[in-house]
Amino acid sequence: MTIANDSVVTIQYTLRNGEGSVLDSSDETGGLAYLHGHQNIIPGLESALEGKAVGDKVNTTIAPGDAYGERQEELVFTVPRDNLPSEEALTPGMQFRAQAAEGQDLVVTLIDVGEEQVTLDGNHPLAGETLIFDVEIADIRAATQDELDHGHVHQGPGSVDH
């Protein structure tokens, strides 16, 4: 079986940035299972894995446009400090859920804390980064109807229980 739309794929991977620093690895998690063709992983990686088989190894470099997009400076903004939870100390790197003007949920990262205002960044932390993946295909199987209906994996590493 080869990787195609509607197949559940389990991969072992190491993710590096353009400078070669390891950003993430499946060594500790036991792999990542995803539903191919359902936007469960970044487009560039999904394209690179299309047609591969169990045991295949893939090394691919993915430009920002096929990963988490280019950085958008307009997504960096300041708000009054009292707009954020006051029950805990605010430190750069904290993340919060916010709602964009268009109504969609947005995860923002706190990048600066001032006396009266805080600066938040709505870009994905890897926006603007070139990503390098070393991947080995560990398993491929047909998705269940339940997985297809929900658009994600229900069994295996990284699965969703509901």
- Any idea what DSSP says for residue 64? G
Q: Is residue 155 part of a domain?
A: no
Q: Are residues 20 and 47 in the same domain?
A: yes
Please indicate, yes or no, whether residues 18 and 64 belong to a single structural domain of this protein.
yes
Residues 11 and 64 in one domain: yes
At residue 82, the pLDDT reads 87
Closest by Cα among 78, 74, 85 to 120: 78
* Mean pLDDT lowest among 52-61, 113-122, 150-159: 150-159
- Tell me what percent of the residues of the chain surpass a pLDDT of 90: 78
pLDDT higher than 80, residue 51 = yes
Return the minimum-mean-pLDDT range out of 22-26, 42-46, 73-77, 94-98: 94-98
Cβ atoms 117, 83 nearer than 8 A: no
Task: List the one residue out of 66, 49, 67 whose CA is nearest residue 58.
Answer: 49
Is there a contact between 142 and 6 (Cβ–Cβ < 8 Å)?
yes
Which residue in this structure is represented by tokens 């191919």? Answer: 36
pLDDT of residue 15: 97
Give residue 111's domain range. 73-121
Between 98 and 114, name the one with better pLDDT: 114
Summary mean pLDDT of the chain = 91
Query: Has residue 157 got a pLDDT over 80?
Result: no
Select the more confidently predicted residue: 145 or 105: 145
Please indicate, yes or no, if residue 23 is contained in any of the structural domains.
Answer: yes
Structural domain includes residue 160:
no
Same domain, 111 and 91: yes
Q: How far is CA 45 from the centre of its chain?
A: 11
CATH code: domain of residue 18:
3.10.50.40
Residue 132 domain-assigned (yes or no): yes
Instruction: Read off the amino acid at residue 42.
Output: I
> Does 103 score more than 90 pLDDT?
no
* Rounded distance between C-alpha atoms, residue 143 and residue 153, angstroms: 8
Residue 92: CATH number of its domain = 2.40.10.330
Tell me if 146 is assigned to some domain: yes
Confidence check: pLDDT of 46 > 90: yes
Give yes or no: residues 20 and 50 share one domain: yes
pLDDT attached to residue 160: 52
Q: How many CB atoms are located within 10 Å of the residue 98 CB? A: 16
Whether residue 161 is contained in a domain is answered as no
Q: How many structural domains is the chain composed of?
A: 2
3-state secondary structure 100-161: CCCCCEEEEEEEEECCCEEEEECCCCCCCCCEEEEEEEEEEEECCHHHHHHCCCCCCCCCCC
User: Rounded to whole angstroms, how far apart are CA atoms 16 and 24?
Assistant: 7
Angle ∠(137,138,143) on CA atoms, nearest 5: 90
